[in-house]
Amino acid sequence: MNLDYLEVFLDLSKSGNMHKTAINLGLTEATVSYRLKQLEDMLGKELFSRDARKLEITQFGKEFYTDAIQVVSIMSRYSKRHAESHVPKTIKVSSGEIAAIYLLPGLIKSFRDKNMDISVDMEIGSSHETIQKLVDAKSDVGFAVSLDFPEFHSVISKMGITELTDIELIFIAPVGCEFLNRKILRPKDLTEMPYISRYSSSGVQAQIEKILRRAGMSENDLKIVFRLENSSSVINAVSEGLGVSIVAMVQAEKQIKNGYIGWLPIETDVKTNLSLVDRWNGTNETVSKFVSFVKFYMGNYLNRGMIKV
């Protein structure tokens, strides 16, 4: 049982308000919401009713309250962190596959090394899921390769958005595909080959659809043989000879170097960027410290070639 989750539950039981508990514990509202949800998932029952804006503790929550107090009291005796009355600040980060795998592990470690009093919780999902969590206040910071989801435009426009780096999208095909003899792939060439697509929640998929629209096309013009969940699955399918697709170079680079797939640049003026979204838009000191570090990290390591996205 996570002690931090219990502390959130106990404070919420008194405050009945996410915002008040966030202030009391030095957390963000997204972290409070996340920890409550995790605790409820562990217990398999709801601790609070969310029918109204004010949280109302359930009957099960009332019964669990006494046990939770005892657990926190016992554990606090043996925890140096709690004995010192120090509750670390936590930032909730959501990210698509590209940043989560190729950027954030090293970045978050470096940030934690310099900010021992701040912890960072990360969840991986699609770009659409990442933005949804920001809109629902379940994340403080999000990383996505596309923000081109119309249903979120009005809300996202009020958040802080930073374009961190360019992402190169490329055409990939099984080794031996005749189209690999060309110097560049035109979007209309895709109509002649079996194509492996993604679900609409993918940020890369949103960018691919934009490329097709600029070329006067849509996915209806393609011979789609599979629709997979993420780029890793797409790349594996292409390497097995099941079709062709479009992916980010950073995701396919290893398979290309190992000779499992071939690639071509794409003829398009569509630009793809890795973006950072700050739900607080600079109004949360802890989150702003993380956002500033991300910009520093990208400028001092990415631009010097120490990391590559």
Within 13 Å and on the Cβ side, how many CA atoms surround 280? 21
Q: Name residues of the chain where pLDDT drops below 50.
A: 80-87, 305-307
Structure tokens at 188: 């209309």
Within 13 Å and on the Cβ side, how many CA atoms surround 163? 8
Q: What residues contact residue 131 under an 8 Å CB cut-off, 6+ apart?
A: 142, 144, 147, 149, 152, 156, 277
In tens, the pLDDT along 33-68 reads 889 999 999 999 999 987 656 788 999 989 898 788
DSSP 3-state assignment of 284?
coil
DSSP 3-state assignment of 85?
coil
Task: Give the model's pLDDT for residue 65.
Answer: 86
Task: Return the C-alpha torsion angle 156, 157, 159, 164, nearest 10.
Answer: 90
Could you tell me the pTM of the whole model? 0.71
Question: Mind listing the domains of the chain with CATH numbers?
Answer: 3-83 (1.10.10.10), 89-166+273-302 (3.40.190.10), 169-265 (3.40.190.10)
In tens, the pLDDT along 262-277 reads 999 999 999 999 999 9
Task: Give the model's pLDDT for residue 1.
Answer: 62
- Residue carrying the six token digits 């400028």: 299
Helix, strand, coil percentages (3-state) for the chain, rounded to 5, are 50, 20, 30
DSSP 3-state assignment of 274?
strand
Task: Give the model's pLDDT for residue 226.
Answer: 95
DSSP code at position 167: -
| Radius of gyration for the alpha carbons in the chain, expressed in angstroms and rounded | 23
Q: DSSP secondary structure string, 201-270?
A: T-HHHHHHHHHHHHTT--GGGSEEEEEESSHHHHHHHHHTTS-BEEEEHHHHHHHHHTTSEEEEEB----
